[in-house]
Amino acid sequence: MTKITAAEVNRLRQTTGAGMMDCKKALVEAEGDFDKAIDVLRKQGQKVAEKRADRDSTEGAAVAKINEDHTVGVAIVVGCETDFVGKNESFVALANDIADIAINCNSKEEVLAADFGGMTVADKLIEQTGVIGEKIDLNAFEKLEAPYVGSYVHINKIAALVGFSSKVDKADELAKDVAMQIASMGATTLSYKDFDPEFIAAETEARIAVIEKDNEERARMNKTPKNVPSYISMAQLTPEVLAKAEEDAKAELKAEGKPEQIWDRILPGKMERFISDNTTLDQEKCLLDQTFIKDEKLNVAKYVASYGDVKVTDFKRVSLG
């Protein structure tokens, strides 16, 4: 029987992350051959992976990486089955190691096929499935390139990337704030201009139906009904619609007996309120139209503009689940 030393066991453990006993058994089976022992552990991982193929890997770690020039960023999720494993330092380190590889890839498939210490990332995930005993997958991969890219990671649960048209003074501060907004508020698109007209029409109908049903319940309880908007996106507020809203506002001021010479001071506020009431979809889904989380007096577009001649070009977001 081949004698296995503690140093050999420790070397295999450091390489694979497997437990001491699993490493010793693998070396014994491989008759002391280090490379064969790694194959033994990998096959063990394959068996575990096959057994757990139907499990959900909805926990894990979300991480982001930015290159030195801040022109390229990636956000990935390495998934596992339990929160306990997802919070483990070695698991988070694995996710960060994979992100370091992912920064040079253009797709999830490329990441899985890339080299990880002499094996592919896909094989490394299988190996670690055997080591940890849970299904481990690369659940998400997003890449973003721009003149300046920043990121924010929320307790390894959500990772966000944001790209800007140029690098401005305090770009790191701007990027962190906007990436935090993306992580926290879950925007799905940059601007209302990105919406498909059919999507807006369907959303308008659905949202009005919800409010009308809620108002029926409020009426039964003698509560003030909610305002039923005619529109939900700036895309619907054509010049004609805005002109009609202004005329209605003037008529309202006249009916209230407000002197015409002060209308110019009141109308901007009324129009701002009209736009706010009729762009709820934009405020929920469009990053630039969302209320900025660190200053409710601004939307994100105005906050970005406060840094000078710079615009958000794109963003990405990944999360567990």
| Full DSSP string of 131-188 | HHSS--EEEEEEEEE-SEEEEEEETTTEEEEEEESS--TTHHHHHHHHHHHHHHH---
- What's the burial of 151, exposed, middle or buried (CB within 10 Å: 0-12/13-18/19+)? buried
pLDDT at 289: 94
CB 138 within 8 A of CB 108: yes
pLDDT over threshold 60, residue 49: no
Structure tokens at 144: 């973003």
β-pair type (137-145, 148-154): unpaired
pLDDT at 46: 64
Length of the chain: 321
CB 182 within 8 A of CB 300: no
CA distances from 315 to 17, 179, 255, 311 (A): 35, 8, 47, 12
pLDDT at 45: 63
- pLDDT (average), residues 167-181: 95
Structure tokens at 30: 């491989």
pLDDT at 20: 72
pLDDT at 65: 97
Phi/psi-derived region of residue 320, left when phi > 0, alpha when psi is between -120 and 50, beta in every other case: beta
Assigned CATH for 59-185 = 3.30.479.20
pLDDT at 292: 95
pLDDT per residue as tens digits for the range 18-31: 667 777 777 777 77
pLDDT band at 195 (very low <50, low <70, confident <90, very high): very high
Q: Where in the chain is the domain with CATH 1.10.8.10?
A: 6-51
- pLDDT (average), residues 312-321: 94
pLDDT band at 204 (very low <50, low <70, confident <90, very high): very high
CB 76 within 8 A of CB 61: no
pLDDT band at 48 (very low <50, low <70, confident <90, very high): low
Share of the chain above pLDDT 90, in %: 63
Q: Where in the chain is the domain with CATH 3.30.479.20?
A: 59-185
Greatest mean pLDDT range, 130-139, 166-175, 206-215: 166-175
pLDDT per residue as tens digits for the range 231-258: 999 999 999 999 999 999 999 989 998 8
The CATH fold assigned to 6-51 is Helicase, Ruva Protein; domain 3 (1.10.8)
CB 161 within 8 A of CB 320: no
pLDDT band at 274 (very low <50, low <70, confident <90, very high): very high
pLDDT per residue as tens digits for the range 93-119: 999 999 999 999 999 999 999 999 888
- pLDDT (average), residues 255-282: 91
AA identity, residue 29: E
